[in-house]
A and B are shown apart, each in its own frame.
Chain A
């Protein structure tokens, strides 16, 4: 493979993985904008989305083999089931965990969502065990060749789904009454309440949208890579770094941040060391934070301070 083709290959691989980070970052930003909470359990939803879809799609042994099911649902229906079940879990988390503690400090809120992440991961371990799982690719066929680099059909799916979801979110937030209400809560919950908007309900909606997006991320990536019960934390961390790179409150920024992070990782792992792939995002995080503190993006930290970060 020529050097150009190799560079293009890294770029394509980076964009594919970056799309997943982008979707998870979108999930973070949606919740953060409406409720001011960083949900440390975000990545677990990607795991649940994938696992639920796999469970209804193929023959599965659950609870250490004590339950055996073979539903054999068609793939689209299985994906839908994954999204719906995960969204319900996310809404449940909001109702039981977040809403009951809505006056809690930032510190308590962080610990609550970490607790949720731990509980979800533990339950996933109990139900699905430690085996890795995957789905079949969404569409069969030979991969595309672009200037000597290879783009798999699943990568196209991943990138397309990301683009479509971004578009849908844009429409929801900017072109609907619900979106206006959501943005009002982000801007000024007090004033929003005076206008007859219920911030609690909007928080629930934000959690629902966010978990659905993250569950979809888990489902589209699982034909390309194996999913295990403990992937959630890494996915959360990557999504969070991507969201920070994008300025934490902008959906477009989150997507750009995700893609950039994916590409940086692909090049870093390809050219430097694949063993340190997961460290790259944190080096990026430290650099972004240092730069922000240094004042290159002076406007941003002030806004972040106001938001109570």
Chain B
């Protein structure tokens, strides 16, 4: 009864408790690091999943906002000695502030143009990060981002950042679930099934797409700032187009238009990636490089050909159909 009325609230509580107990059980720092990364990529993927699933739009440049968040945080906290939390907030705001006008321009386009325009945005950011050595540290990266503090406590360990990262990841999930189940969410669903129909019943489609895009940028900026604080170091390669496309893989695996799917997608892809890296080394000992992109490429093609709504959503829908038939 209670679950029926508040399914998301209960799921959120259960998953939150499970996640909170992970560091108590797991000793391995390696696993903990991967878990922190999953939290970070969940934030990034949720925004993209909303954008792709609800607004029916694709961004191939989400890593741009991830990068803006990270470098804003780093530069403000070191060069301008701003407090780390304020720098983090500034990164989030700046990401959103960049996304809004860009979105205004490109959401009047559709499909292909948007994909290319967001890719282009990512290329430009990457060039800035590698060229403006004085500010960004160039290709070799940016060092010395200060740690976040809680009162008098300075956060340094993986364990502490695990809790910080997942706290924010769950906040992002809760916020997104709320949006999906609100009037905005219904408008977004209408938008996805038919843009024309949505417009005729008075949904300002461009405005909604723009809002979702800006929100996804803010999420990415947040993930970026936390990334910078957690590692204390960042390099342009973490914000390249490859990362943007990896995020698309995560969203597609998790299923479009699914907030929980994003969590699953981020986790599944990161685990597969780690596993593939080891597997490739067993087969070809001298191999080095991002061979996992072969698997991701084929995975993207297969999922989109056979389950255009994404893997998790596709499987769920198929199961639901089967039970309904009975």
Within 8 A of B (CB), among A91-105: 97, 100-101, 104-105
Measured between C-beta atoms, what is the minimum distance from B138 to chain A in Å?
Answer: 10
| Chain A min CB distance to B115 (Å) | 5
Knowing A276-B131, A282-B121 touch, does A115 contact B299 (C-beta < 8 A)? yes
- A119 to B303 CA separation, bound complex (whole angstroms): 14
Report the nearest B residue to A285, measured CB to CB: B120
Bound-state CA distance A288–B303 (Å) is: 34
Is the CB–CB distance between B112 and A110 below 8 Å? yes
Smallest CB-CB separation from B125: which chain A residue? Answer: A279
- Cβ of A308: which chain B residues have Cβ within 8 Å of it? 110-111
Q: Which residues of B contact A117 (CB under 8 A)?
A: 297
Whether A122 lies near B113 (C-beta < 8 A) is no
The stretch among B22-30, B212-220, B267-275, B287-295 that forms the contact with chain A is B287-295
Given contacts A282-B120, A293-B108, contact A111 B297 (CB under 8 A): no
Complex formed: what's the CA distance from A278 to B128 in Å? 11
CB <8 Å contact, B284 and A66: yes
Shortest Cβ distance from residue B116 to the other chain A in the assembled complex, whole angstroms: 5
Residues from 284 to 318 in B contacting A, C-beta threshold 8 Å:
284, 286-287, 289-301, 304-305, 308
Contact B305 A112 (CB under 8 A): yes
Cα A211 to Cα B112 in complex, Å, equals 19
Q: In the assembly, what is the distance between CA of A275 and CA of B139, in Å?
A: 12
Contact B305 A101 (CB under 8 A): yes
B198 part of interface (Cβ distance < 8 Å): no
Do A282 and B111 have beta carbons less than 8 Å apart? no
CB of A38 closer than 8 Å to a CB of B: yes
Per-position 1/0 for A261-273, Cβ under 8 A of B: 0000000000001
Flag if A130 contacts B289 (CB, 8 Å): yes
Cβ contact within 8 Å between B113 and A289: yes
- Is A173 an interface residue, CB under 8 A from the partner? no
When chains A and B are docked, how far (Å) is the Cα of A277 from the Cα of B293?
Answer: 27
- Asked whether A119 lies within 8 Å of B293 as measured between CB atoms, the reply is yes
Asked if B106 contacts A289 (CB within 8 A), the reply is yes
Interface residues of A in 26-69 (CB under 8 A from B): 38, 40, 63-66
CB distance from A297 to the nearest CB of B (A): 14
Residue A244 lies at the interface, judged by CB distance under 8 Å to chain B: yes
Interface check B37, CB cutoff 8 A:
no
Asked whether A65 and B110 contact (CB < 8 A) given A107-B52, A112-B304, the answer is no
Main SS class of interface, A: helix
Name the contact of A64 in the complex, choosing from B130, B284, B300 (C-beta under 8 A). B284
Contact residues in A for B284 (Cβ distance below 8 Å): 63-64, 66
Interface size on B, residues (CB 8 A): 47
CA distance A159 to B292 in the complex (A): 38
Interface membership of B261, Cβ < 8 A: no
Say which residue of A100, A112, A126, A309 sits within 8 Å of B291 (CB atoms): A126
A290 touches B298 (CB 8 A): no
Beta-carbon contact of B293 and A121 below 8 Å: yes
Give the shortest distance, in Å, between B281 (CB) and chain A (any CB): 11
Whether A112 and B301, one on each chain, are in contact in the complex, defined by CB atoms closer than 8 angstroms, is yes
Residues of A within 8 A of B115 (CB): 38, 40, 110
B10 at the interface (CB under 8 A from A): no
- Interface residue? B56 (CB, 8 A): yes
Q: Residue B263 at the A interface, CB < 8 A?
A: no
A117-B115 Cα distance, complex, nearest whole Å: 14
A135 is an interface residue with CB less than 8 A from chain B: no
Please, which residue of chain B has its CB at the minimum distance from the CB of A125? B289
Complex contact B301–A119 (CB within 8 A)? yes
Task: Give the chain B neighbours of A65 by CB distance below 8 A.
Answer: 286
Given A130-B289, A237-B116 in contact, is the A108-B127 Cβ separation under 8 Å? Answer: no
| Among candidates B111, B286, B294, B295, residue contacting A107 with C-beta atoms closer than 8 Å | B111
A246 to B153, CA, bound (A): 59
Contacts of B113 in A (CB 8 A): 244, 289, 309
Within the complex, the shortest CB–CB distance from A109 to chain B, in Å, comes to: 8
B105 adjacent to A111 (CB under 8 Å): no
Q: Find chain B residues with CB under 8 A from A237 CB.
A: 116, 119-120, 123
Residue pairs across A and B with Cβ atoms less than 8 A apart, 22 shown, are: A38-B112, A97-B305, A100-B305, A105-B308, A106-B112, A107-B57, A107-B111, A110-B111, A110-B112, A111-B252, A115-B296, A115-B298, A116-B297, A118-B296, A125-B293, A241-B116, A275-B131, A276-B131, A278-B123, A286-B117, A293-B105, A309-B112
4 more A-B contacts (CB under 8 A) besides A112-B301, A241-B116?
A: A107-B57, A125-B290, A289-B106, A309-B111
- A residues with CB within 8 A of B: 38, 40, 63-66, 97, 100-101, 104-108, 110-112, 114-123, 125-126, 129-130, 233, 237, 240-241, 244, 273, 275-276, 278-279, 281-283, 285-286, 289-290, 293, 305, 308-309
- Interface pairs A-B: 7 shortest CB-CB: A119-B297, A115-B300, A122-B294, A118-B297, A282-B120, A115-B301, A106-B111
